[in-house]
Amino acid sequence: MSVERILWEEDATGLANLVRKGEVSAVELTDAAIARAEATRPDINATAEPLYDAARVRAKTVDPSLPLAGVPFAIKDLGIAIKGVPTHGGSRIPAWLA
């Protein structure tokens, strides 16, 4: 089964279990999630600040013993800010840095 298909069919705990068992890597899941985000970007533009390089770096060093190890996720920038990352607050106003 392709990694893209696994990403569609499994929930977060299922994905983490596959990473823990070594059936799929965190890097593979991250790349599949990035590909999906980029494929939908022209239509829905849901990713205000892509952090793809940072995600790939973190995926290489994930601790598989953690409960949701290797599961890619996105952070909505409403009420949450990440140091050094422009925060848009879900609007067109100029971004600010935390």
Instruction: Give me the pLDDT at residue 30, please.
Output: 97
- What span, in angstroms and rounded, lies between the C-alpha atoms of 2 and 79? 35
SS3 24: coil
Question: Phi first, then psi: what are they for 20, rounded to 5°?
Answer: -60, -40
Quote the pLDDT of residue 92.
Answer: 80
Q: Give the span between the Cα atoms of 8 and 49, in whole angstroms.
A: 23
Burial of 16 (0-12, 13-18, 19+ CB in 10 A): buried
- Per-residue confidence band for 71, with pLDDT thresholds at 50, 70 and 90: very high
Please give the average per-residue pLDDT across 43-50, as a whole number. Answer: 86
How many other CB atoms are found less than 10 A from the CB of residue 88?
15
Mean pLDDT of the chain: 91
The pLDDT assigned to 78 comes to 81
State the pLDDT at residue 11: 96
More confident residue, 45 or 11: 11
Claim: this prediction has a pTM higher than 0.85: yes
* DSSP collapsed to 3 states, 29-72: HHHHHHHHHHHHHHHHCCCCCCCHHHHHHHHHCCCCCCCCCCCC
Arithmetic mean of pLDDT, 65-89: 89
